[in-house]
Amino acid sequence: DAGVTQSPTHLIKTRGQQVTLRCSPKSGHDTVSWYQQALGQGPQFIFQYYEEEERQRGNFPDRFSGHQFPNYSSELNVNALLLGDSALYLCASSLAGPNTGELFFGEGSRLTVL
Amino acid sequence: AQSVTQLGSHVSVSEGALVLLRCNYSSSVPPYLFWYVQYPNQGLQLLLKYTSAATLVKGINGFEAEFKKSETSFHLTKPSAHMSDAAEYFCAVSSPSNDYKLSFGAGTTVTVRA
C-alpha cells in the first residue's frame, strides 16, 4: 500500500520565480492538506483540498495556491518566491467526513530560495 | 481556537533513562490530541493519538501519553530511552470546531547520550 508521495524531494529557486510541488495521497484517501515547516519550527497549515476545492486555508498570502485533481492528487503553487519561503513543504492525506483529524504525511519537498 | 504549547525546545537524556516531553493544549471543545515524530530529513510519523477513549494511550516504539483534562496536558513518556529515539517530536491538536484541522506545536528535539 503506497503511502503519501511527494515530488520533487529537493529544489532550488531564485527570488521572484514560481514553483510547483506535487503530492499523491495514500491509497483510499480523498483529502489533501499542505503544511509549511520552516527550519526549527512546527508545521504550519497552508490549505486543505477536498473534492477538487479548497476547503480550509491558513494564514498564507494569495501567492500560495493549490489544485486537486480527480484522482485526488494535488499541487501546491507558490508565485513570486521570497527568501522566507525556504522551507520543507509537507503534504498529508486523510479521509473526509467525521474523523479525528489524523493525517498521513509524505517525506516533504525541501525548497531553497536564493 | 485551538493551540498547543510544547515546554522545552530541546531535551537531552541518557540511554536507558526516562523520556518526558511536555505538551499543553487549549481548545474550546474536547480535543483530539496527537504526537508525531520526525527523523532527520523525513516527514512526520504518527506515534500515538487520543480520541476520547482511554486517557492513557500507548503508541509505537514504547511511547505512551496520558490525557489530563484538568491540567489540559498530553505529556509523552517512554520509560527507557534508546539511541534510535533521537528525533524531533511534535504535539498536535484538532477538534470539530476547527473542522479537524491539525495545529502543531513548535516541537521538541530529543538527543540521547550514550
Using one digit for the tens of pLDDT, what is the confidence trace for A25-74? 999 899 999 999 999 899 999 999 999 999 989 999 999 999 999 999 99
pLDDT, tens digit, for every residue of B80-97? 999 999 999 999 998 877
**Which residues does chain B have within 8 Å of residue A90's beta carbon, measured at their own beta carbons?**
43-44
Interface with chain A: mutation pick from B41, B67, B102, highest number of A CBs within 10 Å: B102
**Which residues does chain B have within 8 Å of residue A43's beta carbon, measured at their own beta carbons?**
44, 90, 104
pLDDT of residue A99: 67
pLDDT band at B77 (very low <50, low <70, confident <90, very high): very high
Q: Name the one residue in this structure whose C-alpha cell is 518566491.
A: A81
* B55 DSSP 8-state letter: S
Mean pLDDT of chain B: 92
| Residue A78, C-alpha cell as written in the block | 507558490
pLDDT of residue B2: 81
Average pLDDT over residues A7-34: 96
pLDDT of residue B98: 77
> Are B94 and A45 a contacting pair at CB < 8 A?
no
| Distance to chain A for B9, nearest Cα, Å | 9
Alpha-carbon distance of A91 to B98, in angstroms, equals 19
